[in-house]
Amino acid sequence: MQSLHRIAVLAGDGIGPEVTAEAVKVLKAIEEVSGPAFRFQYGLIGGCAVDQTASPLPAETIAICNNASAVLLGAVGGPQWDNKRPELRPEQGLLQIRQRLGLYVNLRPAKVIDSLANMSALKPDRVRGTDILIVRELMGGIYFGNPRGIFAKNGERLGVNTEIYREHEVERVAHRAFQLARLRRNKVTSVDKANVLESSRLWREVVTRLGRSYPDVELKHLYVDNCAMQLIDKPTSFDVVLTTNMFGDILSDEAAMLTGSIGLLPSASLGEHSALYEPIHGSAPDIAGRNRANPLAAIASAALMLRYSLHMEDAASAIEQAIERILKRGVRTAELPGKARPSSTTRMGDLVAQTAEKILKSMRPKKK
Ligand code: NAD
């Protein structure tokens, strides 16, 4: 029997457990076709971990994640933990797990699903066909550089942050971007501010040098201000966008608005030996426990996990096709505009699971 992929499931708080359960349901449907493939191990993170263990990231959870091929995360946080000391805030669990697993690259796909093109903040004709993958450096840059702080000098206070990029930090994320472009449309746009910042000048030099090892991938450089404009003006012209921690933080939210459906978007954070997959939305305490949450971002995160960590491209693609097919049929959860009666979280999960299983079966050659 083939060895099972260990998947750490950290459902977290609010709607986290509801949407993660649907992602696991879909993975189990994949197993109906592929045979046993996954071993799920559950761990605590966030507010529920604070309540049960007095830590937002217990040691047991770290051990489960270190032992897994990939981590599937729901969401953390909620008003009941907002007044906790900073080290007991649920979000600390998320920041710590990213650091502990050495996740240095964040992937945020922004794909406009044809049947939802009218939800975009832009005109449908402008965004139709948009399919962008933002590759953001996650462990360096201005969010982590020293010196940092608020200091007093000459009778007034000054706030200081420092943008630092070391060559190896740029190299490892740039390699990922070029490799990912090869799985897509072979185009990388590297985004910096090399006309003003030395850290960006180094970034551009390193990316240009590495680009020579990927002659089949077209490399273009854009200043971040120009990129912000082009994302609105010509969103379909982008494939992979490679950028720094802070620029990626901002541009990935801008790109998400092109799709207009922030509740449908997955993300991946990759390191050398680990990877974590999660929806970009939060724990939505306003709708938690009511079977109303949209599970598609969590399910799409599981599809990314199959593609990038487990190399099960057929299964990943089957799930993504199932999501598109169901939305095209007009099925909607409550937060999406639509004419039909809204579907519940569990019903949406059932439909994706059944459809993905059917699509995957049709991809496999029939046994004689
Ligand atoms: P949120 O994303 O949780 O919710 C924003 C709005 O979108 C709400 O109206 C919510 O009902 C809706 N929404 C979000 N996901 C949805 C889904 N899957 N289906 C249907 N509707 C959905 O953001 P927020 O309200 O700013 O934050 C709530 C809590 O989540 C806070 O404690 C925050 O710190 C935390 N948070 C966690 C993460 C994470 O775990 N990665 C990310 C962002 C926010």
User: What average pLDDT does the chain have?
Assistant: 95
pLDDT tier for residue 3 given thresholds of 50, 70 and 90: confident
Of ligand 1's atoms, which has the minimum distance to the CA of residue 287?
A: 11
- In this prediction, residue 366 carries a pLDDT of 65
Structure tokens at 50: 């604070």
Question: Does 263 contact ligand 1 (Cβ within 6 A)?
Answer: yes
253 catalytic? Reply is: yes
pLDDT band at 42 (very low <50, low <70, confident <90, very high): very high
pLDDT, position 25? 98
pLDDT (tens digit per residue) in 165-212:
999 999 999 999 999 999 999 999 999 999 999 999 999 999 999 999
Task: Give the position of tokens 């079977």.
Answer: 291
In angstroms, what CA-CA distances link 16 with 191, 194, 282, 306? 33, 40, 8, 20
Pocket test for ligand 1, best of 44, 48, 103, 283 (most atoms within 8 A of CB): 283
Mean pLDDT calculated for residue range 303-324: 96
Q: How confident is the model at residue 309, as a pLDDT?
A: 96
Q: Tokens representing 250?
A: 């901002």
State yes or no: is 51 an active-site residue. Answer: no
Q: How far is 232 from 243, CA to CA, in rounded Å?
A: 17
Per-residue pLDDT tens digits for 230-240? 999 999 999 99
Look at residue 248 in the predicted model and tell me its pLDDT.
96
Beta-bridged to residue 159, according to DSSP, are 150
Q: Which of 111, 214, 249, 308 is catalytic?
A: 249
Atom index in ligand 1 nearest the CA of residue 298 equals: 18
To the query of whether residue 193 is one of the catalytic residues in this protein, the response is: yes
* Angle of the 345-363 helix axis to the 16-34 helix axis, nearest 10: 20
Is 308 among the catalytic positions?
A: no
Percentage of the chain lying above the pLDDT 70 cut: 99
Query: Whose Cα sits closest to atom 12 in ligand 1?
Result: 284
Q: Count Cβ atoms below 10 Å from residue 365 Cβ, excluding itself.
A: 5
Q: Cβ contacts of residue 229 below 8 Å, gap of 6+?
A: none
Residue 284 CA to ligand 1 center (angstroms) comes to: 4
Residue 178, burial from CB neighbour count under 10 angstroms (0-12, 13-18, 19+): buried
Residue indicated by tokens 């840059």 = 141
Q: What does pTM read for this prediction?
A: 0.92
CB atoms within 10 A of CB 231: 25
Residue 367 has pLDDT above 60, yes or no: no
* Ligand 1 atom nearest 82 alpha carbon: 32
pLDDT band at 10 (very low <50, low <70, confident <90, very high): very high
Ligand 1 atom index nearest CA of 16: 40
Tokens of 158: 């000054």
In this prediction, residue 1 carries a pLDDT of 55
**Strand pairing report for 156-162 and 187-192:** unpaired
Q: What are 187's two structure tokens?
A: 């185009």
Contact 132, 241 (CB under 8 A): yes
Share of the chain above pLDDT 90, in %: 88
Dump pLDDT digits (tens) for 97-137: 988 999 999 999 999 998 889 888 899 999 999 999 999 99
In the chain, the domains with their CATH numbers are 1-104+271-368 (3.40.718.10), 108-136+168-264 (3.40.718.10)
Low-confidence winner among 44-53, 111-120, 125-134, 334-343 (lowest mean pLDDT): 334-343
DSSP string, 215-251: TTSEEEEEEHHHHHHHHHH-GGG-SEEEE-HHHHHHH
Catalytic residue among 253, 314, 350, 358: 253
Q: Is the CB of 78 under 6 A from ligand 1?
A: yes
Pairing type for strands 105-111 and 266-270 reads antiparallel
Residues near 64 by beta carbon (within 8 Å), at least 6 away in sequence: 8, 41, 42, 43
Find all residues with CB under 8 Å of 294, minimum gap 6, and list them.
Answer: 19, 263, 264, 333, 335, 336, 345, 348
Mean pLDDT for 1-9 is: 87
Helix H segments across the chain?
A: 16-34, 47-53, 59-66, 90-100, 124-127, 167-182, 198-211, 224-233, 245-259, 296-308, 313-328, 345-363
- Is 234 part of the annotated catalytic residue set? no
Whether 82 lines ligand 1, by a CB cut-off of 6 Å, is no
**What's the CA gap between 364 and 356, in Å, rounded?**
13
d(CA 130, CA 238): 8
The whole-number pLDDT of residue 167 equals 98
